[in-house]
Structure 1
Amino acid sequence: MKVLTANRLSDGIAVWYAAGGWAETVGNADIAYDKAAEDRLEAIGAAATANNEVVDVNIIDVAIVDGLVEPVRLREKIRAAGPTIRTDLGKQASPQPARAA
């Protein structure tokens, strides 16, 4: 399973492609379950970069853990959660359940 992530150009916030726009939580991201869906996300990311909406566009691996979408790599877990020194701040303070596919 993969999702499209980037940083919003206007403020640098980590975002994930979801339902035709960019969500601030990975739990809302559109999940690619096959190569065709992954290619579609890559095309969306390329267009968003060309339109100066986002930078640092990447397709990343995710898993569903206890009903939540969770990035696989540590770097992406940190981007999804927020500050590593205060778990009461940032996105990790209120995890979002995974959207139904």
Structure 2
Amino acid sequence: MPKPFTPKVMTANALLEGDVIYMTATGWTRHLEEAEVLTDEADADLRLIEAQSQPGSVVGAYLAEVTVQDGVPHPTHFREDFRATGPSNYHHGKQAAATEERF
């Protein structure tokens, strides 16, 4: 028996910057909370095809499983949680922006 489809988001890396990006209903964002949550398997497959047809701007597109709490997607796997928080080698990108917003 096939496993039931669970909510997912489309993710990839921006080709030029290397940043983790997520597909929205109208394009791409660098913020997971803005990602379009896909709840229909056929729709998710179409979005994957759409993402993979953009080799000039994205690389490594795939569907990542999420849970939705209060309308906001949250990763279910450590890897996706790690990707959503930004680079870990030094304080820059999403981590620096989060620090700036706190002060």
Which band: TM-score by shorter chain? 0.7 to 0.9
Alignment coverage as a number of residue pairs: 92
TM-score relative to the length of structure 1: 0.76
- Measured at CA, do residues 63 and 86 of structure 1 come closer, stay the same or move farther in structure 2, by a change above 3 Å? farther
SS of residue in 2 equivalent to 1:19: coil
**Unmatched 5+ stretches in structure 2:** 1-6
| Corresponding residue SS for 1:48 | coil
CA deviation map 1:25-83 (0-9, x unaligned): 0111111101121112111111112xx11111111101123553111111110111124
Q: Which residue of 1 aligns with 2:27?
A: 21
Residue matched to 1:93: 98
- Alignment RMSD, CA only? 2.6
Asked if the contact 2:66/2:73 (under 8 Å) is kept, the reply is yes
Q: Which has the larger radius of gyration?
A: 2
Equivalence map 1:36-55=2 (5 Å): 36-49=42-55, 52-55=56-59
Distance 1:27 1:46, change over 3 A: same
Unaligned runs of 5+ in 1: 95-101
Aligned partner of 2:17 in structure 1 is 11
Percent identity over paired residues = 30
